[in-house]
């Protein structure tokens, strides 16, 4: 059973349920097509990370974006 992890920053309130469903469906279809495997067992996990918890070069994305 494939488990596909998607991590993304939570921006402007985060992704909607519809967006997440479309993303999971698209990833599942692409996986099935590329690997010629059934999509019925594919698991997609979507994790939204608050920009206060995402750091580059020791600074949070929140702070880096405020600098711009």
- Catalytic positions are 2
Cα 20 to chain centroid, rounded = 8
The span from the CA of 14 to the CA of 1, in Å, is 28
Phi, psi for 2 (deg, rounded to 5):
-75, 140
Give the residue among 35, 56, 18 at the shortest CA–CA distance from 4: 35
């Amino acid at each position: 059973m494939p488990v596909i992890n998607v991590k993304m920053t939570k921006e402007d309130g985060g992704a909607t349920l519809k967006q997440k469903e479309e993303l999971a469906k698209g990833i599942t279809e692409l996986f099935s097509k590329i690997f010629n495997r059934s999509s019925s067992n594919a698991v997609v996990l979507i994790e939204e990370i608050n920009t206060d918890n995402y750091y580059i070069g020791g600074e949070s994305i929140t702070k880096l974006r405020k600098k711009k």
